[in-house]
Amino acid sequence: MPVRAPFDFTTLTVTDVSRHFGRRKALNRVTFTCEAGHIIGLLGPNGAGKSTLLSILATLASPTLGVVRYGGTTAREAGPAIRARLGALGHDLYLYPELTARENLRFFARLYEVDDAAGRVEAALTRAGLADRGDDLVSGFSRGMRQKLALERALLHGPRLVLLDEPFTGLDDAATQALVARLVALKQEGVIVLLTTHDLDVVDGLLDQVLVLQNGRLVTDERQPATGLRARFRRVLAGEAR
């Protein structure tokens, strides 16, 4: 029977998850656990399976084999209630260019049936640095502005698990530092933040856990990683001692 809302969890557990596309194995028996209040980096070269894994965790795709548990509950057991606890930012920003920034956020606030929708929308615009552009059409925004707005769209309903695919794309230095501060605040609020990025220098020292995928396999699961992330990442992919 589906779990009735409200639904919450403090751990994410991936057990022997595989995803096959015909004969190609995009993921091969991936296993790890993440905890609330942690920022987790999902790293790997292009084609390693990172986006496929994020899609599975976001319940947009199903594993061929294995299971994902949100707390002790699968997405099937949780039913629609699971979507209220997930926030995702991918390559598709899920913004409507013909709407203004404020209209976009209002739409998603209604979709998630959030409390004090008007207040949350205004706070989100302020956090995105777009308070003075709220009534401008998104079609006129730069990539960085759209990226910041899409992040607030993903966080508007207060999710427990936030999945970010290359969230630093298109951001200048000031916006990058603002995003880092936002991630730290989410961590302090007990959110599970799982992100992919090639900007290793930006996240060096920020991550509580590092997962490295290579050819669909998990080759590293490192807790409390030391700095020097880029050099260690290169050694891992080269198959050297870590």
pLDDT band at 241, cuts 50/70/90? very low
Secondary structure (DSSP) of 29-86: EEEEEEETT-EEEEE--TTSSHHHHHHHHTTSS--SEEEEEETTEEHHHHGGGGGGGE
Give the integer Cα–Cα distance in Å for 76 and 66: 13
pLDDT band at 5, cuts 50/70/90? low
Tell me the CATH number for domain 11-95+161-237. Answer: 3.40.50.300
What pLDDT is recorded for position 6? Answer: 72
Q: Average pLDDT of 35-41?
A: 98
pLDDT tens figures, 114-140: 999 999 999 999 999 999 999 999 999
What pLDDT is recorded for position 3? Answer: 46
CA neighbor of 3 nearest in space, from 77, 84, 59: 77
What pLDDT is recorded for position 23? Answer: 87
What pLDDT is recorded for position 226? Answer: 84
What pLDDT is recorded for position 170? Answer: 84
H or E element at residue 203: helix 200-203
What pLDDT is recorded for position 37? Answer: 98
Q: Is the pLDDT of residue 95 over 90?
A: yes
Q: Is the pLDDT of residue 242 over 70?
A: no
The pTM of the full predicted model, rounded to 2 decimals, is 0.93
DSSP class of residue 183 equals: H
Q: Average pLDDT of 187-211?
A: 96
What pLDDT is recorded for position 137? Answer: 98
Residue 62 main-chain phi, psi, to 5 deg:
-110, 145
pLDDT band at 1, cuts 50/70/90? very low
SS3 184: helix
Q: Is the pLDDT of residue 203 over 90?
A: yes
Give the integer Cα–Cα distance in Å for 78 and 114: 19
Domain ranges of the chain: 11-95+161-237
- Contact present, 163 and 136 (Cβ < 8 Å): no
- Contact present, 67 and 158 (Cβ < 8 Å): no
Give the integer Cα–Cα distance in Å for 193 and 162: 5
Q: For residue 222, what are its two tokens?
A: 């490192």
